[in-house]
Chains A and B, each alone.
Chain A
Amino acid sequence: QKEVEQNSGPLSVPEGAIASLNCTYSDRGSQSFFWYRQYSGKSPELIMSIYSNGDKEDGRFTAQLNKASQYVSLLIRDSQPSDSATYLCAVNTGTSGTYKYIFGTGTRLKVLA
């Protein structure tokens, strides 16, 4: 069974701090990795994608991928109360032509004003 694991939280950080969200996956053949943000009662919104080992930065967000350790993380710098949400890690595990995503259960982030 291919799995994606996340700590459910809540992860509480003060406003202005760095929030670090982590995700591990079981399928070594996974090719692409995504972070979604989901506010309560709303649908997931894509915030970052990463495909190669290393860091990828987009504004206050940095995604980090380590395929050898099967680990992907999301850093949120200068956290704001509006960042309070559940963050879902997703992994694309399909072989060519059958792309399926496996989602973690999400980490709930609370940014304290």
Chain B
Amino acid sequence: DGGITQSPKYLFRKEGQNVTLSCEQNLNHDAMYWYRQDPGQGLRLIYYSQIVNDFQKGDIAEGYSVSREKKESFPLTVTSAQKNPTAFYLCASRGLAAYNEQFFGPGTRLTVL
């Protein structure tokens, strides 16, 4: 089955800890994205990548870091510098043609204790 997987589904973090969220896709998509969703708000772009070993900051990149060492994988690290990390994190991917559609993984819900 082709798709996007995210793990873990739920993650609890103590203040001051870094945590890494996994995102893997087997759709052969070039572009991958990380979004954050807070209650009552839309999706906000954290980072995106359109090619291996290259990525760009989105609108709210502070306190986050990413890597893109493989086409299939785009992990997101939430660092201790992110002051309010409790949120629903969504990974997405799409092909690079102009009208390709973007698809989402199931999401990771991060809670800071």
List residues of chain A with CB under 8 Å of any chain B CB: 4, 8, 31-32, 34, 36, 42-46, 49, 51, 88, 90, 96-101, 103-106
How far, in Å, is A19 (CB) from chain B's closest CB? Answer: 20
The answer to whether the Cβ of B53 comes within 8 Å of any Cβ in the partner chain is no
* A-B contact sample (11 more), CB < 8 A, given A46-B103, A101-B102: A8-B40, A31-B98, A42-B107, A43-B106, A49-B99, A97-B50, A97-B96, A99-B94, A99-B98, A104-B42, A105-B41
Instruction: Return 5 A-B CB contacts under 8 Å, by A number.
Output: A34-B102, A43-B104, A97-B50, A99-B98, A105-B41
The answer to whether the Cβ of B11 comes within 8 Å of any Cβ in the partner chain is no
Residues in B neighbouring A36, C-beta threshold 8 A: 104
Number of A-B contacts (CB under 8 A): 54
Chain B, interface size category, equals: 20 to 34
B107 touches A43 (CB 8 A): yes
Main secondary structure of the interface of A (DSSP, over half): loop
Q: Mark B49-60 against chain A: 1 for CB-CB distance below 8 A, else 0.
A: 010000010100
Contact of A98 with B99 at beta-carbon distance under 8 Å, contacts A44-B104, A103-B42 already known: no
B42 touches A43 (CB 8 A): no
